[in-house]
Amino acid sequence: MKPRYAVYFSPCTTSPWWAFGASWLGRDEGHNTRLAQPDIAHITPAEFEHATEEPRRYGFHATLKAPFYLKDNMGLQELKQRLTTLAAQLQPVELGALSAVSMKDFVALVPQTMSVRLSALAEKCVTGLDDFRAPLTALEIARRRVDPKDTRGQFLLNNYGYPHVLERFILHFTLSGSVLPQVADHLVRAAMSPIGQLNQSAPLVLDRLCLFVEEEQGQPFTRIADMVLTG
């Protein structure tokens, strides 16, 4: 099976934001190694490990271009070169304060305000890289399916491989898989204090495009390249 690639934003590995996210999920996505997770009030270590199992496979990140297979006539080096070119055209974007929130049935960090510049950057990543993306497989379509009545969502899925793009884009760092509301509440409360401190001491800036790879279906995604924004 061919590898899948994804373009994410993940903070620099020397950043306190990355230290928080990697510890929370229990994984260093660059070295593909497990990390000790923090103690969470009212949740056992085993429950917390299970709650973070799904996002741990992807690493601490916010999606800019959802995972995709390369077209047969495209290669990894060409993708890296395109990312380098794109990063040279884009300026860093201040994300402002982030909050831990419950999104449907999972917990994530989201900016309190989605700026026009952030939306524009995300759109350029989606549209500017789509010529590398192979058509969706049946499995990908099943995973990303949308309500048949949602014609706009279906259009975005068909044209860009993912329904949560362009005007539907919300930058978010996933902190859990699907959890019960009570567990989500505990996770949100646990994240509030460290996130509040980070907002004050080290406001987060989206300053790089990060290339991740899933070598085989179901394997953990690993971080293989960072392209710093210099536009």
- Do 141 and 17 form a contact (C-beta atoms < 8 A)? no
Can you name the CATH fold of 4-228? Answer: Cyclic Phosphodiesterase; Chain: A, (3.90.1140)
Compute CA distances 4 → 1, 7, 27, whole Å. 9, 11, 20
Quote the pLDDT of residue 20. Answer: 98
User: What's phi and psi for 94, nearest 5 deg?
Assistant: -70, 130
**Three-class DSSP category at 30:** coil
Instruction: Please name the residues in contact with 159: beta carbons below 8 A apart, sequence gap of 6 or more.
Output: none
Structure confidence by residue, pLDDT tens digits, 150-209: 999 999 999 999 999 999 999 999 999 999 999 999 999 999 999 999 999 999 999 999
Structural domain boundaries in the chain: 4-228
218: left (phi over 0), alpha (psi -120 to 50) or beta: left
Structure confidence by residue, pLDDT tens digits, 18-60: 999 999 999 999 999 999 999 999 999 999 999 999 999 999 9
Taking only Cα atoms into account, the Rg of the chain, rounded to an integer number of angstroms, comes to: 17
H or E element in which residue 47 lies: helix 45-51
Tell the residue number behind the tokens 């916010």, with chain if given. Answer: 62
CA-CA distance, 26 to 45, in Å (whole number)?
Answer: 11
